[in-house]
Amino acid sequence: MTAALQSDVLVLNKHWRALRIITAAEALADLFVGRVEAVDTDYRSYDFASWHELSAYASAFEPESHSFVRTVTSAVLVPAVVRLRRFDRVTRPTLRLSRKNVYLRDNYTCQYTGQRLPTSELTLDHVVPTSRGGQTSWDNLVCCSVAVDSLKGNRTPEEAGLKLIRPPRRPDATELLFKSRRERHDSWKHFVDAAYWNTELHD
Stretch (H or E) spanning 126: strand 122-126
Q: What is the pLDDT of residues 68-98, one digit of tens each?
A: 887 777 889 889 899 999 876 555 556 789 9
Which one, of 138, 143, 132, lies nearest residue 201 by Cα? 138
**What is the number of other CB atoms lying within 10 angstroms of the CB of residue 13?**
17
Stretch (H or E) spanning 21: strand 18-23
- Give this prediction's pTM: 0.57
Q: What is the pLDDT of residues 120-146, one digit of tens each?
A: 999 999 999 999 999 999 999 999 999
In the predicted model, what is the mean pLDDT of the chain?
83
What lies within 8 Å, CB to CB, of 100 at 6+ separation is: 196, 198, 199
CA triple 181-187-192, angle to 5 deg: 55
Which one, of 21, 23, 18, lies nearest residue 3 by Cα? 23
